Amino acid sequence: MTEFVSPEAMADMIPSGVKLGLAPDGSGSCPAMIRFLIERGIRDLHVVCAPIGGMQVDMLIGAGAVSVLETSAVSLGEAGGAPCFGRAIRNGEIRMLDATCPAVFAGLSAAEKGVPFMPIRGIIGSDVLKNHPNWKVTTNPFDESEKIVVVSAIQPDITLIHAPEADRFGNVRLGRRREVMLLAHASKKTFVTVERISETSLLDDEKLAAGVLPAMYVSAVAEYKGAAWPTGLYAEYEVDAGEVENYARAARTPEGFLAYITGTRSAA
C-alpha cells in the first residue's frame, strides 16, 4: 500500500546510513526534499546516481551527508563543475565508486531482474574497471575466447524522486523517463514527491499506462509542487539556470555553501 504523507513526514522516513537512489538533475531530481534531509542532519549515505548527479548530490556532499558516492559523473551542467564534490574528492572525504553510465544501468537491471550480476560490453582496459570493487572480468561461457565485464546488482534501499503526477492509488506517471522507472524497479522502496495528484487512476488511460510506475513499487507519495526547483522537471518546467549559477558561486567555499543552504528555500 502506498502511503500519502507530507514532504516533511517523507523526509523523516529516510534514515542515515541507507543506500539512496537519485535521478539526474531535471529527470526526477528533488532538491527541495534534499534540503529537508540536510536539515534533519542525515549522515553516512551511500548515494547511487542513476547514472549521474548534479546539484542535489553536490548539496548532500557539501552537507557532509555522503560517505560513498556511486556515479558516472557529477556536474552542474552549464554552471560548470560541482564545487562540493570537487572539494570532497580533494580532501578524501567521500569514498568514490567511479562508474560509467551503462554499467550503472546494468547493475540496476540485475537488481530489477533479481539476478546477481549483468554482463556488459566495453570497459576492459579502463582505470574505471581497475578501481571498481563490484565489477569483474569473466569469460563468456558461450565463447571461451571472449572476455567480458560483469557488474554486480545495484539495489538501493530507498529511491527518492520527483515526478509530474501521481494518482490517489499510488501510481506515478514518469512518461518516457524509463531510467527512473528502472531505478524504482531496482530499489527496495521508492518515495515520490509529485507536482499534483490525480483523482482518477492513471492506469485507466491506455495512452498513459506504459509510462506509469505502478503503486506496488511506490512506498510513499507526497504532493510537493515545485520541488524540483531549481534543477527543473522534464516536460513540466525548465532548469532555473540563474539559480544554479548562484549555487555554483556560493558553494565555492564551505562557508558560502552553508550560507546558501540555510538561505532561501524555494522560488516562491
Partner 1 sequence: MTTECTNRELLIYTISRLLDGVEHVAVGMSSPMPAAGAMLLRALNKKQGLGDVQVSILGSVRHNSFTSGSEELFDCAAQGRIGAFFLGGGQIDGKGNVNLVGAGGYPNSPVRWPGSYGSAYLYFLVPRVILFREEHSPRVLVDQVDFISAPGATEDGVYRRGGPHALLTNAAMFSFQRDTGRFRLESVHPGRSAADIREMTGFSFDNDRCEVETPGPDAEILALMRGQIRSELAETYPQFAASLPEAA
For residues 11 and 151, which CB has a smaller minimum distance to partner 1 in the complex? 151
Closest contact distance (angstroms) between CB of 242 and partner 1 is 13
Among 68, 96, 209, 258, binds partner 1 (CB under 8 A): 96
Nearer to partner 1, 10 or 186 (CB): 186
21, 227 contact by CB (below 8 A): no
Stretch that binds partner 1, among 71-79, 151-159, 161-169, 249-257 (CB under 8 A): 71-79
- How far apart are alpha carbons 56 and 235 in whole angstroms? 19
Based on the shown chain and the rule CB under 8 A, indicate whether residue 176 belongs to the binding site for partner 1.
yes
Stretch in the footprint of partner 1 (CB under 8 A) among 10-18, 36-44, 91-99, 213-221: 91-99
**Is 238 a binder of partner 1 (CB under 8 A)?**
no
Closest contact distance (angstroms) between CB of 53 and partner 1 is 9
Binding flag, residue 220, partner 1 (CB under 8 A) = no
227 binds partner 1 (CB under 8 A): no
For the residues of 177-217, what is the DSSP string, one character each? -HHHHHHHHHSSEEEEEEEEEESS-GGG-HHHHTTEE-GGG
- Region 30-59 residues binding partner 1, contact defined as CB under 8 A: 51-52
Pairing of strands 218-223, 212-213: unpaired
Phi-psi region of 170 (alpha: psi -120 to 50; beta: other; left: phi over 0): left
Q: Which helix (H) or strand (E) holds 122?
A: none
What is the secondary structure of 223-261 as a DSSP string? E-TTTTTTT-BTTTB---HHHHHHHHHHTTSHHHHHHHH
Residue 122 Rama label (left phi>0; alpha psi -120 to 50; beta): left
Residues within the interface to partner 1 (CB under 8 A): 26-27, 51-52, 71-75, 77-78, 81-82, 85-86, 89-92, 96, 98-103, 105, 109, 120-129, 131, 145-148, 176-182, 234-235
